[in-house]
Amino acid sequence: MKILILCTGNSCRSQMAHGFLQSFDANLQVFSAGTHPAEQVNPHAVEVMAEAGIDISHHRPTDVATCLNETWDYVITVCDHARESCPAFSGEVRHRLHIGIEDPSEVTGSPETIRQAFIQARDLIKERFSRFYLTEILGKELPRCACER
């Protein structure tokens, strides 16, 4: 199973989702990319993922252009901008999904406010990508949560 997680900067949300999916199943081929990749993975994302036991410090932002000719089982956008500007893939894309997450790197305020934004994004990504993994990859039916009704 080959999965691409796409966002704008590929520095935060897509990197965290990449880390979680890979931790759920080492047999998945998980990649992440950005429509306008940043210079590096956001240090706050690296920090909060390490606290969850997942090391993404070796990840590097990648331009989605390097992924366009490949075949993907899933291309998942995690931000509205990437969803709206998702490029045309010349390789086959079997499924396109959007799992939108607010960008914690846009939060301003005290260091604790920023840290909490990254923790909230991390926890939401874990929950939503766990659900994706269980339902889409493993094919399990889960009860719908109240927030989806």
Q: Based on the residue annotation, tell me whether 12 is a catalytic residue of this protein.
A: no
Closest residue by Cα to residue 47 from 89, 16, 8: 16
Q: Based on the residue annotation, tell me whether 86 is a catalytic residue of this protein.
A: yes
CB 16 within 8 A of CB 10: no
Q: Exactly one of 12, 79, 145, 147 is catalytic; which is it?
A: 79
Q: Exactly one of 67, 86, 145, 147 is catalytic; which is it?
A: 86
Q: Based on the residue annotation, tell me whether 67 is a catalytic residue of this protein.
A: no
State the Cα angle at 1 between 12 and 143, rounded to 5°. 75
Closest residue by Cα to residue 12 from 146, 119, 85, 95: 119
CB 18 within 8 A of CB 45: no
Question: 10 Å Cβ neighbour count for 92?
Answer: 9
Which sequence positions are flagged as catalytic?
7, 79, 86
